[in-house]
Amino acid sequence: MPPESATPDSSAVSSSAPAAPLDPAFIEVDHFNFWYGTKHAIQDITMEIPERQITAFIGPSGCGKTTLLRNLNRLNDLIENIRHEGDIRIDGQSLYDPSSEVISLRKRVGMVFQKYNPFPKTIYENVVFSLRVAGRNHKAELDEVAERSLRGAALWDEVKDKLHESAYGLSGGQQQRLCIARAIANRPQILLMDEPCAALDPVATLKIEALMTQLKEEFTIVIVTHNMQQAGRVSDRTAYFYMGRLIEYGPTMQLLSNPREKATQDYVSGRYG
Amino acid sequence: MKRTASQRKHTPGEIQVWLCAAGLACGLLMIAGLLLLIFGNGVVVFWPKPISEFTVRSADGSESKISGELVKTQLRRTAEGGTKAEIQLFTGNKDAYGLGFRFIDKEAILSESRPEGLMLAERMEYGDALFHPVQLKRKDGATLPASAPEFQGTLQQRLDEGNRLRSRLLHLEKGRIGKINARIKAMELRIKELLAGGKSGTGPEVSALRDRIAREQKGFDTLVAESRQMRARLEEDELTVRLSTGEERTLKTGSIVYCYEPNRLSLIGKLGVFLHHVIEFATSEPREANTEGGIFPAIFGTFVMTILLALLVTPFGVIAAIYLREYASQGLLVRIVRICVNNLAGVPSIVFGVFGLGFFVYGMGAFIDGGTRIPLPPMWWFPVAIAFLVCLTGSILLAVQSPPAGAESENRRGFGTRLKPIVATLTVFLGVLTLFQCPYFHGFFSSSLPTPTFGTGGILWASLTLALMTLPVVIVATEEALAAVPRGVREAALACGASKWQTIQRVVLPSALPGVMTGVILAMARGAGEVAPLMITGVVKLAPSLPLDFEAPFIHAERKFMHLGFHIYDLGFQSPDSEAAKPMVFATTLLLILLVVVLNLAAISLRAHLRRKYQASAF
Ligand SMILES: Nc1ncnc2c1ncn2[C@@H]1O[C@H](COP(=O)(O)OP(=O)(O)OP(=O)(O)O)[C@@H](O)[C@H]1O
Ligand SMILES: [Mg+2]
């Protein structure tokens, strides 16, 4: 664990009044710009994301939420013709520092995708994948991690009898929870969730929300959502993006009920577009 | 108001649909016809047919008898311009008549009968014999007339004994005598080497070897005597027979493989003979210039070659496809490479054969046998070797130093990435040059030169040639399969902290595997039926031994082999007796089709298994 863990538990603070002092930043986005070819997808965004809290990204479709999220673990590097300016720092260290390694970064930053994407493997192998690629192959350890992660993702009871069957035999919601289990298996510090409930029914959504509240004891969570109620239910802080810009960012209660900006007001009250 | 087309109640039927359906129907009909023709002709060969005895009036008015199996009836143009019906008879008894087939004018036939006592004997030589048995004569002079009740049983017993003796003889000659022969040859080679190395001909090593050769020679002689004795025993018993023409002949029972009375067979008896023929065809070795006996060596050769081909082509094709699809930056160069690969699939197979002959047989084979013929002088070779080492170090450094694949960010991609393929190509080129021009390597089999070991066609070279030929199929199929793996799972793997190679190896390849298998199946199907390139890279009409046996080192990659496709060609067009070989052509074709089907079914079921295991996407 990084030295930041010594700071006072911030989750307690966030639920207090809107005027609470700013929590110490864990992820710092510093005048960050990003281009897909000539498309300026992220325009000069500066924000600080605190540790062990849930931060929600909201905004209309195509405003750059996913793009920013995928920059936090540098998954956008895979795309051709991209370019960035500015900097992102996690725990004080720049992601773009030549000495920082992408693979070790991604080991610290787990990700759950908008569309669930389990591997064509057994449930068990899906969960322990990140350990296997890290070269950890002890059966006992893997078994323990698999059980802990699956319990963490509220999936254990449903799959404990068919761990060695194909992951494709699960329902959509179960597959998404499997992906969450996979993302938390190697105990990352940060968990990025891109609309984790977009494909789920209300029951599964509630399960996953409960799960997030529980997971934030350990992880710093960034979640992208289109669902304002969800943002209100689970997140501590919310950021509203529009056309690649960060319009407003603050404690969720304040942003949803009493936004400073007119645009935010329109969006959260459903008058957008 | 006029109704426009879109307002019409009934839209007109579309005639194109019928054209498409007709095209499909034609295609299906042709395939069905092909299969039926081959199946019909191929299976009929094994079914015992009745034998008729004809009384024929010859031109001078005299009457004679001839028996045989009716092959076909046809019309012949006579000199006067009319037509005459004639029949073609399979008469057998090539040793007595000179020919196995005969044409008879239908007019000349006075009568036809089917005597039950007529017997058909399949022999080691001269093909089938058709006759009335007269008596069995043993070596001590005792005779048993054919009318005796125990005649059939005794004859069968003789034949069984002969067959057993023959298989023992084969084992003795091919196995034990062959082994001694090989040992003696190896020791003689060793002596030759020692003498060439400057040892004196009377030195202790050489004389010890000579002693051992003498001892082996003694064992050899006893075995040869034994085999000669066995051969003599095969000659002992005689069967006196009367041909339909009236001529009496004697056959050695030891030369008869199988005999039955075709006109006396019940349906079950016929079925038994049929099964016997099928089994013999599939499991025994050919006789009589391949027109008789079985084709087991050809089945086995085709099988081994196809498996070897699949084993060789899969890794190369998959690795090439992975590089092309996953690593190479998709620029002009990769596009050109892809076009070249696709064009390679259209190159006539004989071209690959010529390449195989020139490169594998005369190049690599000769190199393995005896090293380079014209090596570089050391003063040139050393710089080349050093350049190779430099390049090797360079490429290793490039591989280690460059950021782990998948981690290449926009500001890191650059010089190293561009350089990699160039350095790799240079390294391979220099490596090959260093190896092939090494002045200090004199081959693994130089002592047996000028008889080539690998420097002549063999199953390894044939398989390699076919692997090269089918490489595009595997590459294209694998590329497609890789491209079909959803982006999501790749990103998920990377997001879990996997490197690019780990992603490919653990996630992408398993889900692409069924598609890869499809490519391998296609490659196998194409390779198994290919003949032209094989003819110049290792297939022979009659191989003395199988490419895989129980003699160390078990896999004899340098051996020549037999192949069903070539066998068909050989039977149909190179056979001394093409009439006799014709049925074998169809039977062999049937077997070739069966073999390809079996191999494909095996591969398909493997693919189905993989798909079930990694049911990711369907191809
Ligand atoms: N791979 C890409 N190549 C080019 N442009 C892209 C790419 N991915 C996204 N974009 C563009 O960047 C902008 C931001 O996209 P992004 O996926 O971040 O939106 P989003 O906020 O996640 O939207 P949604 O809520 O619909 O998921 C969009 O206008 C999109 O067209
Ligand atoms: Mg998105």
Residue nearest atom 16 of ligand 1, based on CA coordinates:
A64
CB contact under 8 A, B499 and A104: no
| B434 lies in the same domain as B356 | no
Ligand nearest to the CA of A57: 1
Contacts of A140 (CB under 8 A, 6+ apart): none
Q: Which of A106, A117, A129 has the CB atom closest to B488's CB atom?
A: A117
Confidence of residue A272 (pLDDT cuts 50, 70, 90): low
> Does the structure show a pLDDT above 70 at B136?
yes
Return the best residue to mutate from A34, A45, A63 for the ligand 1 pocket (most ligand atoms within 8 A of CB). A63
- DSSP three-state, residue B242: strand
Does A58 reside within a domain? yes
Does A176 reside within a domain? no
CATH number at residue A260: 3.40.50.300
| B466 lies in the same domain as B572 | yes
* Residue A117 near chain B (CB below 8 Å): yes
Confidence of residue B406 (pLDDT cuts 50, 70, 90): very low
Residue B375 CA to residue B369 CA, distance in Å, equals 14
Residue A61 CA to ligand 1 center (angstroms) comes to: 8
CB contact under 8 A, A168 and B507: no
Confidence of residue A69 (pLDDT cuts 50, 70, 90): very high
H-run or E-run covering B607: helix B578-613
* Residue B618 near chain A (CB below 8 Å): no
Does A107 reside within a domain? yes
| B380 lies in the same domain as B435 | yes
| B538 lies in the same domain as B599 | yes
| B212 lies in the same domain as B309 | no
Return the best residue to mutate from A32, A33, A42, A65 for the ligand 1 pocket (most ligand atoms within 8 A of CB). A65
Return the best residue to mutate from A39, A80, A267 for the ligand 1 pocket (most ligand atoms within 8 A of CB). A39
> Does the structure show a pLDDT above 90 at A12?
no
Does B21 reside within a domain? no
pLDDT value of position B468: 92
Minimal-distance CA residue of chain B relative to A121: B614
Question: Lowest-pLDDT range, A155-164, B435-444, B479-488?
Answer: B435-444
pLDDT value of position A16: 38
Of B499, B513, B506, the closest CA to residue B616 belongs to B513
Residue B475 CA to residue B354 CA, distance in Å, equals 22
Top residue of B329, B330, B496 to mutate, by most chain A CBs within 10 Å, is: B496
> Taking residues B466-493, what's their average pLDDT?
91
pLDDT value of position A19: 40
Q: Which of B408, B497, B510 has the CB atom closest to A186's CB atom?
A: B497
Ligand nearest to the CA of A64: 1
Please state the atom number of ligand 1 nearest to the C-alpha of residue A63: 21
> Are the beta carbons of B42 and B55 closer than 8 angstroms?
no
| B310 lies in the same domain as B453 | yes
pLDDT value of position B466: 92
* Residue A171 near chain B (CB below 8 Å): no
> Does the structure show a pLDDT above 90 at A128?
yes
Does B510 reside within a domain? yes
Minimal-distance CA residue of chain B relative to A130: B496
CB contact under 8 A, B498 and A133: yes
CB contact under 8 A, B403 and A102: yes
Q: Which residues pair with B103 in a beta bridge?
A: B88
| B363 lies in the same domain as B508 | yes
Does B272 reside within a domain? no
Does B455 reside within a domain? yes
Confidence of residue B470 (pLDDT cuts 50, 70, 90): very high
> Does the structure show a pLDDT above 60 at B99?
yes
> Does the structure show a pLDDT above 60 at A67?
yes
Q: Which of A102, A119, A168 has the CB atom closest to B507's CB atom?
A: A119
Does B24 reside within a domain? no
* Residue B274 near chain A (CB below 8 Å): no
Of A107, A245, A177, A7, the closest CA to residue B407 belongs to A107
> Taking residues B579-594, what's their average pLDDT?
83
Identity of the amino acid at A32: F
Does B169 reside within a domain? yes
Q: Which of B486, B496, B613 has the CB atom closest to A130's CB atom?
A: B496
* Residue B417 near chain A (CB below 8 Å): no
> Does the structure show a pLDDT above 60 at B6?
no
CA distance B569 to chain A (A): 47
Q: How many domains does chain A fold into? A: 1
Q: Which of A78, A166, A186 has the CB atom closest to B615's CB atom?
A: A166
Q: What domain range includes position B389?
A: 372-402+414-441
Does B460 reside within a domain? yes
* Residue B495 near chain A (CB below 8 Å): yes
> Taking residues B428-433, what's their average pLDDT?
86
Residue A145 CA to ligand 2 center (angstroms) comes to: 30
Does A53 reside within a domain? yes
Confidence of residue B402 (pLDDT cuts 50, 70, 90): low
- DSSP three-state, residue B404: coil
pLDDT, one tens digit per residue, over B289-347 is 666 778 888 888 888 899 999 999 999 999 999 988 888 877 888 889 889 988 888 88
| B177 lies in the same domain as B106 | no
CA distance B506 to chain A (A): 9
* Residue B334 near chain A (CB below 8 Å): no
Residue B487 CA to ligand 2 center (angstroms) comes to: 15
| B448 lies in the same domain as B500 | yes
Beta-strand pair B128-137/B238-242: antiparallel
The per-residue pLDDT of chain A, averaged, comes to: 84
* Residue A113 near chain B (CB below 8 Å): yes
pLDDT value of position B616: 46
CA distance B333 to chain A (A): 17
Buried b (16+ CB within 10 A) or exposed e, A7-41: eeebbebbeeeeeeeebebbbbbeebebbeeeeeb
Residue nearest atom 14 of ligand 1, based on CA coordinates:
A64
pLDDT value of position B408: 44
* Residue A183 near chain B (CB below 8 Å): yes
Ligand nearest to the CA of A241: 1
pLDDT, one tens digit per residue, over B266-279 is 889 899 999 988 88
Confidence of residue B551 (pLDDT cuts 50, 70, 90): low
* Residue B404 near chain A (CB below 8 Å): yes
pLDDT, one tens digit per residue, over B211-250 is 888 888 888 888 888 888 888 888 888 888 888 888 888 8
> Does the structure show a pLDDT above 80 at B42?
yes
> Does the structure show a pLDDT above 70 at B388?
yes
Residue A62 CA to ligand 2 center (angstroms) comes to: 7
Ligand nearest to the CA of A36: 1
Question: Which residues in chain B touch residue A103, judged by CB atoms under 8 angstroms apart?
Answer: 404, 406-407, 497-499
| Neighbour tally for B525: CB within 10 Å | 18
Residue B279 CA to residue B299 CA, distance in Å, equals 13
CA distance A265 to chain B (A): 34
Residue B206 CA to residue B194 CA, distance in Å, equals 7
Q: How many domains does chain B fold into? A: 4
pLDDT value of position A23: 55
The per-residue pLDDT of chain B, averaged, comes to: 83
Helices (H) and strands (E) in chain A, counts: 12, 10
Quick one: CA dihedral B79, B80, B81, B83, positive or negative?
Answer: negative
| B493 lies in the same domain as B551 | yes
How much is the ipTM here? 0.85
Question: Which residues in chain B touch residue A118, judged by CB atoms under 8 angstroms apart?
Answer: 489, 492
Question: Which residues in chain B touch residue A132, judged by CB atoms under 8 angstroms apart?
Answer: 506
Pick the residue with more confidence: B379 or B373?
B379
Does A85 reside within a domain? yes
Does A103 reside within a domain? yes
Residue A247 CA to ligand 1 center (angstroms) comes to: 17
pLDDT value of position B5: 53
Does A155 reside within a domain? no
Does B17 reside within a domain? no
> Does the structure show a pLDDT above 90 at B24?
yes
Confidence of residue A20 (pLDDT cuts 50, 70, 90): very low
| Neighbour tally for A161: CB within 10 Å | 8
Q: What domain range includes position A83?
A: 20-118+189-268
| B338 lies in the same domain as B387 | no
Does A143 reside within a domain? no
| B487 lies in the same domain as B563 | yes
Contacts of B131 (CB under 8 A, 6+ apart): B93, B118, B119, B121, B241, B242, B243, B244, B249
In the block, tokens 């390894």 appear at: B460
Q: Which of B408, B489, B497 has the CB atom closest to A119's CB atom?
A: B489
Q: Name every protein residue with a CB atom under 6 angstroms from any ligand 1 atom.
A: A 36, 39, 41, 59, 61-67, 79
Of A195, A28, A51, the closest CA to residue A111 belongs to A195
Question: Which residues in chain A touch residue B615, judged by CB atoms under 8 angstroms apart?
Answer: 120, 166, 168
> Taking residues B31-52, what's their average pLDDT?
88
Q: Which residues pair with B90 in a beta bridge?
A: B69, B101
Question: Lowest-pLDDT range, A35-49, A96-110, B351-365, B486-500?
Answer: A96-110
Residue A100 CA to ligand 1 center (angstroms) comes to: 26
CB contact under 8 A, B494 and A106: yes
Q: Which residues pair with A255 in a beta bridge?
A: none
CATH number at residue B100: 2.30.30
pLDDT value of position A100: 77
Identity of the amino acid at A196: P
Name the token pair of A31. Answer: 């005048």
